[in-house]
Amino acid sequence: MMRSDGHVFPKSEWAPISDYWPAVSFTKRSVGIDLGQRFKPGRDILLYVGTTSELTRDPAHRSRLLSAVVPEPNRLHETRKIIPAQSWAWSMNDNGARWPHSLAIVQAASIAGPPYPYAREIVPKAYASFATMENRGWFVEAIGDERDAVLALEVIPLHLNLAPDVIAYLGLRASLHVDIPKSVKQEVSRMAMLIIDRVNSGGEVSVRTNPIRFAPNISELSALLTRLWQDDQGGDCALCGARIHATTGNEMMKASADRIDSTNGAYNESNVQITHLACNLAKNQWGLDHFEEWIAALRGVDVTEDVGEGR
């Protein structure tokens, strides 16, 4: 979860991380902003330390090291939008809107237990610093031997069910990643804008009536197209299997978002694939069977042997 040179940031919490509350939450917005600016995913961890108060309902959790988590630091969310509705209702009923700001947790592990290790035995200086006025409701850093002691703890990886808002944001972040070539980002943006235009013209009457079409917002759509093209398809055309080059000057070979089932107007994960423009047009004009025969012929396969009587 973290690099050997990473930072360990203990923070007081009322329970271990779970699907019940898959976020690290703050009373003050400034705390979340400060953590987001200092925390680097893949390098650092945030360490959940059970409070000493009755707010930590399970006595076995109080003053103990409970969870190691990785928040997504680049966006501060409204807590009510990224935790289950029943969890927010409980919070409002018992505490009011006490923790309105949150960072989403994208990776998590439970510290091995029970019994969970006492914070005062593993990170005594960092734990004691929670008592100072300036650290109330804040996070601190475990350094030196205390940091090394945290790294030696046994942890159990956890899977969290993330809210749709969080998944959409993570997809958008991934689509903007620095490792993705600028040319691919430009092509994805072009395809996304074409889809939005088609959705907006759905139902209009021209030479024929355009089908009603549906798509997510442009940010989510861009993230989807990027993931399909670069990750799921490995940069290849979903129809012919050849490489799609984002920088090509050949219009026939440009990237094109193809609805797998043309009668289904949805541009979603189950109904979209990235193809060459020529492959998309050929499939839609003459059907998948004839398209595949044509591709086979281009590859030197004698398709006449497969043409039976009655065809």
Burial code of 51-86, b = ≥16 C-beta within 10 A, e = fewer?
Answer: eeeeebeeeebbbbbbbbbbbbbebbbebbebbeee
CA neighbor of 104 nearest in space, from 85, 76, 80: 76
Whole-number Å distance between alpha carbons of 105 and 24: 7
What's the confidence (pLDDT) of residue 252?
95
Q: Give the mean model confidence (pLDDT) for residues 227-235.
A: 89
Q: pLDDT band at 205, cuts 50/70/90?
A: very low
What's the confidence (pLDDT) of residue 165?
75
Residues shown for the chain = 311
What's this model's pTM, rounded to 2 decimal places?
0.61
Residue 195 DSSP symbol: H
Position 79 pLDDT exceeds 60:
yes
Q: pLDDT band at 174, cuts 50/70/90?
A: low
Position 138 pLDDT exceeds 50:
yes
Q: Which of 168-177, 193-202, 221-230 has the lowest mean pLDDT?
A: 168-177
What pLDDT, in 10s, does the model give residues 13-50?
999 999 999 999 999 999 999 999 999 988 999 999 99
Q: Which of 179 and 146 is assigned the larger pLDDT?
A: 146
Whole-number Å distance between alpha carbons of 244 and 241: 9
